[in-house]
Amino acid sequence: MADRVFIEGLEVETVVGVYEWERDITQRLLVDLDMDWDNRVPGASDDVKDALDYAAVSDCVIRCLQALQPKLLEHAAEVLAAELQRTFGIEFLRLSIRKPGAVAASAVGVSIARGRRL
């Protein structure tokens, strides 16, 4: 499938990290999503109920990561991918989670792809 819906740079404040001091504060994560979605129906109907509602997806990402409070970004990515696929019926997605400031003068994070391309 060539159609997709994407969200880039979604900011989520949550508890994240393995060090004891990290468990006492919130930190900013940046989430990028690229999701296969057939956009022909919403393209023809011009109705959000036919679309992959990126506001609803964004809310789901924020709720999931804030509730999860992961130690590892790898764990956050796996749980988040499964939740998005289950909740929205997304067959294939690619997601990245970045943790700004985790390593000085660089961007660090994880990226995964899950599901089956149509």
Residue 81: how many other CB atoms lie within 10 Å: 19
Q: Where are the alpha helices (DSSP H) in 30-70?
A: 40-45, 54-68
49 is catalytic: no
Q: How far apart are CA 11 and CA 91, in angstroms?
A: 24
DSSP state of 105: T
Q: Write down the catalytic residue from 99, 102, 104, 111.
A: 99
| Three-state DSSP state, 77 | helix
Active site residues: 99
